[in-house]
Amino acid sequence: MKTTVQKISLLTFASVAVLLAGCGGGGSSGASAGGTGTLGVAMTDAPSCGYDAVNVTVNKVRVHQSSSASDTDSGWTDITLNPARKINLLNLTNGVLEDLGQTPLAAGHYTQLRLVLDANTGAGTANSVIVSGTNNEVGLTTPSAVQSGIKLVNEFDVVAGQRADLVLDFDACKSIVKRGNGVYALKPVVTVIPTVLNGIRGFVDPALLGTHVNVTAQQNGTIIRSTTPNATTGEFFLARLAPASYDVVITADTSATTVVAAVPVADTTSTVAISTATAPIALQTGGTTRSISGTVTLTPASATEVGTVAAKQSFSAGPTVTVKYQGADASTGAYTLASLPTTAPLLGKYSATLPIAFAAQTVTTPGTGKYALAATANGYTSQANASVDLTTASQTGVNFSLIP
């Protein structure tokens, strides 16, 4: 077992495509009845909200052919990291992978996958955060599931004599829950995504770096993948996207929202460029930004779920997009969506001929300088506020009450 960190950069994606050949998928038609194949597992991350570091300590990855097997049943195969590895998830953006290891595995169809983390004990920081603007590493309270393993929804096949590769996308932003009084909890949100290194790439103006630039691939206002640009070059890569059309949304403090609409991802092996290093995307800066705050109340209260609030806009000549989203404090229900621009967003339609031209757009729903808010929580009925007006001032007391 390798104990050194292996990171696969987007800058070497051509060789990575070869390394990751043979990805397993759902169904059992490709599985062999006997023999042994190889399972390889890696981890990646979406960017975090308001943290300079989000650390998790990975102990092992476990797989089983039965979806109902408990953690004490026989039949598990483990990839054990010895010693357990502490990983800062924020180092794993722009398609970078952290190799968790590999293991021989009997050919067949597998229906259960678990990611096991070391639990924090006492004031331990096996799993921790550093809040932006501070230098303090704060330990995360962890659920009991980290010891038996975070159960992931995924089925895959291992074929005799072949390698199957899985990538675990650990969403740091959605996995950190505020509990008030400086306490933070880990509520792991992990999905299994394709290993092939396709997607959408480009550059933002390096002059924007340091203003909390965020780049997302969206469909109908739902964020599918997100990342932050390279801190030196401004390069970004929205990796491992299913073939489809995506709207790329770029946000930054004190800048107008910028959208590239209908970017086509044709297959699982190609990469689409929407800007270059010599002609990066330059956001319109200097506009007024304001905030929306309030509470999200869950009735009945939940010990595990928290509300999330998203601010959306729809363009007259373009899509509906999410500009900002934020999880509520688990103790108080409080949330704040900060740095929402009041200026008109910029929209460019995808073209293979670069650079893409952008033009200011009228927001038809709910209007320029206004936002439609949606509050959601797992197991609760979502609630919407059709229009929150920021044209003259920030808004407080925008509250939501969610019921099952």
Instruction: Select from 322, 117, 80 the least CA-distant residue to 224.
Output: 322
**Higher per-residue confidence, 383 vs 154:** 383
Q: What is the pLDDT of residues 158-213, one digit of tens each?
A: 999 898 899 999 888 888 988 888 889 988 888 888 777 799 999 999 988 888 89
Query: CB of 167 within 8 A of CB of 240?
Result: yes
**Residue 329: exposed, middle, or buried by beta-carbon count in 10 A (0-12, 13-18, 19+)?**
buried
Reported as a pLDDT band with limits 50, 70 and 90, residue 48 is: low
Query: CB of 259 within 8 A of CB of 319?
Result: yes
What is residue 341's predicted lDDT score, i.e. its pLDDT?
96
Tokens of 36: 């042994």
Tokens of 236: 């970004």
Least confident range from 4-18, 26-40, 309-323: namely 4-18
Does 103 have pLDDT greater than 60? yes
Residue linked to tokens 């970017």: 263
Percent of the chain with pLDDT over 90: 62
Reported as a pLDDT band with limits 50, 70 and 90, residue 106 is: very high
Q: What is the pLDDT of residues 210-268, one digit of tens each?
A: 888 999 999 999 999 999 998 889 999 999 999 999 999 999 998 999 999 999 999 98
Is there a cis peptide before residue 188, judged by omega within 30 degrees of 0? no
Residue linked to tokens 């407080």: 396
Reported as a pLDDT band with limits 50, 70 and 90, residue 300 is: very high
Q: What is the pLDDT of residues 111-135, one digit of tens each?
A: 999 999 998 876 679 999 998 888 8
What is residue 363's predicted lDDT score, i.e. its pLDDT?
95
Q: Can you tell me the mean pLDDT for 396-402?
A: 98
Does 145 have pLDDT greater than 80? no
What is residue 74's predicted lDDT score, i.e. its pLDDT?
95
Check the CA dihedral 220-167-276-204 and report its sign: positive
pTM comes to: 0.80
What is residue 16's predicted lDDT score, i.e. its pLDDT?
32
Instruction: Select from 266, 253, 330 the least CA-distant residue to 295.
Output: 330
Does 15 have pLDDT greater than 70? no
Does 322 have pLDDT greater than 90? yes
Check the CA dihedral 330-333-338-344 and report its sign: positive
Instruction: Select from 186, 152, 188 the least CA-distant residue to 171.
Output: 188
Does 43 have pLDDT greater than 50? yes
Residue linked to tokens 């995360």: 140
What is residue 36's predicted lDDT score, i.e. its pLDDT?
87
What is residue 304's predicted lDDT score, i.e. its pLDDT?
83
Distance CA 223, CA 241 (A): 12
Reported as a pLDDT band with limits 50, 70 and 90, residue 11 is: very low
Distance CA 361, CA 224 (A): 23
Average pLDDT, the chain: 87
What is residue 46's predicted lDDT score, i.e. its pLDDT?
72
Does 96 have pLDDT greater than 70? yes
What is residue 25's predicted lDDT score, i.e. its pLDDT?
34
Q: Which domains does the chain have, with CATH numbers?
A: 7-193 (no CATH), 199-273 (2.60.40), 289-402 (2.60.40)
Tokens of 123: 């004031």
Does 19 have pLDDT greater than 90? no
Query: CB of 398 within 8 A of CB of 373?
Result: yes
What is residue 20's predicted lDDT score, i.e. its pLDDT?
30
Does 1 have pLDDT greater than 50? no
Reported as a pLDDT band with limits 50, 70 and 90, residue 34 is: low
Distance CA 317, CA 355 (A): 19
What is residue 210's predicted lDDT score, i.e. its pLDDT?
80
